Amino acid sequence: MSASQSVKKIIEINPYMLGTMAGGAADCQFWHRNLGVKCRLHELANKRRISVTGASKLLANILYSYRGMGLSVGTMIAGWDEKGPGLYYVDSEGGRLKGTRFSVGSGSPYAYGVLDSGYRYDMSVEEAAELARRAIYHATFRDGASGGVASVYHVGPNGWTKLSGDDVGELHYKYYPVEAEVVEQEMAELPVT
């Protein structure tokens, strides 16, 4: 985001489902909010929470119906339902993929590199959060269009919680602290005669 360094890129659809933002900010915000409304209507009509599969399909179908009209949305829907954790990638071309890890946006190839090399399905929450933070940091380091704050959320059986929100600049010095340089030669001042 070049306009602002403090944009919220993780959208809280409801207490147990999150959406990420990549592409057009307005499109993402609007359609995630709209998805939240549809999920709530589903709950009211069916007396049970909507599954992550269902929610992602609702969004994918909406975006598909607008294909070719210039929407720009690259999002991941993450949540917890009766089948456990669910993660879907949905975009404005109508694509919808179920998976265990995704990376979206201009910095996504950089993030994939770090994510793939450190990923195991049976990681602990702390390990996973640190891996995610690292992946965002490294993507931001190399990608000019990425920056700002690295937010990490955890989605569990009781919903999501925000784990951290670190400024990426500060993360840089935490991972790569400045070391005192060994001075090889110092300029000496000539004594004044």
Partner 1 sequence: MESVFGLVGKDFAIVAADSSAVHSILVHKTNEDKIMLLDSHKLMGASGETGDRAQFTEYIQKNVALYQFRNGIPLTTAAAANFTRGELATALRKNPYMVNIIMAGHDKDVGPSLYFIDYIASLHKLDKAAFGYGSYFALSMMDRHYRKDMTVEEAIDLVDKVIMEIRSRLVVAPPNFVIKIVDKDGAREYAWRESIKDAPVPAV
Torsion of CA 60, 66, 68, 73, to 10 degrees: -50
How far apart CA 94 and CA 108 sit, in angstroms, is 19
Q: Which is nearer to partner 1, 98 or 162 (CB)?
A: 98
Q: Which is nearer to partner 1, 17 or 63 (CB)?
A: 63
Q: Does 185 bind partner 1 (CB under 8 A)?
A: no
Q: Does 94 bind partner 1 (CB under 8 A)?
A: yes
Q: Does 89 bind partner 1 (CB under 8 A)?
A: yes
Q: Which is nearer to partner 1, 116 or 170 (CB)?
A: 116
Which among 6-14, 30-38, 57-65, 128-136 is the span making contact with partner 1, rule CB under 8 A? 57-65
CB 16 within 8 A of CB 155: yes
* Axis crossing angle, helix 125-142 with helix 168-175, rounded to the nearest 10: 100
How far apart CA 41 and CA 50 sit, in angstroms, is 9
Give the residue from 2, 20, 3 showing the smallest Cα distance to 11: 20
Q: Does 85 bind partner 1 (CB under 8 A)?
A: no
Q: Which is nearer to partner 1, 94 or 169 (CB)?
A: 94
Sites of contact with partner 1 (CB under 8 A):
60-61, 63-64, 67-68, 83-84, 89, 91, 93-97, 99-100, 102-103, 108-109, 112, 119-122
